[in-house]
């Protein structure tokens, strides 16, 4: 299997979009945890499952989007 230039460009775009998505989701989780702590709670489910959620939030966008980007770009470019 040869690597196409269009696929590599698509993977780079997918990596960038995945990185942006990761930053947005990470901020949303931190805000939810902070809101729960300020309300007098212990941080809620976000605080309890911080490590698995962090891996999931990092893994899916940052690994998955480049794969989808490579696949889509190589299909579109031929």
pLDDT of residue 53: 87
Q: What tens digit of pLDDT does each residue of 6-15 get? A: 999 999 999 9
Helix (H, G, I), strand (E, B) or coil at 2: coil
Domain containing residue 61: 5-77
Measured between alpha carbons, how far is 23 from 75 in angstroms, rounded to an integer? 28
Question: 38: which DSSP letter?
Answer: H
Q: What is the DSSP string of 46-68?
A: HHHTHHHHHHHHHHIIIIIHHHH
Q: What tens digit of pLDDT does each residue of 25-62 get? A: 999 988 988 888 888 878 778 888 888 888 999 999 99
What is the reported pTM? 0.81
Q: What's the structural domain count of the chain?
A: 1
Measured between alpha carbons, how far is 17 from 25 in angstroms, rounded to an integer? 12
């Amino acid at each position: 299997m040869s690597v196409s230039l269009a696929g590599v460009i698509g993977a780079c775009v997918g990596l960038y979009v995945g990185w942006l998505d990761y930053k947005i989701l990470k901020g949303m989780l931190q805000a939810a945890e902070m809101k729960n702590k300020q309300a007098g709670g212990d941080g809620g489910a976000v605080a309890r499952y911080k490590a698995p959620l962090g891996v999931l939030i990092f893994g899916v966008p940052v690994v998955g989007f480049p794969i989808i980007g490579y696949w889509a770009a190589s299909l579109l470019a031929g």
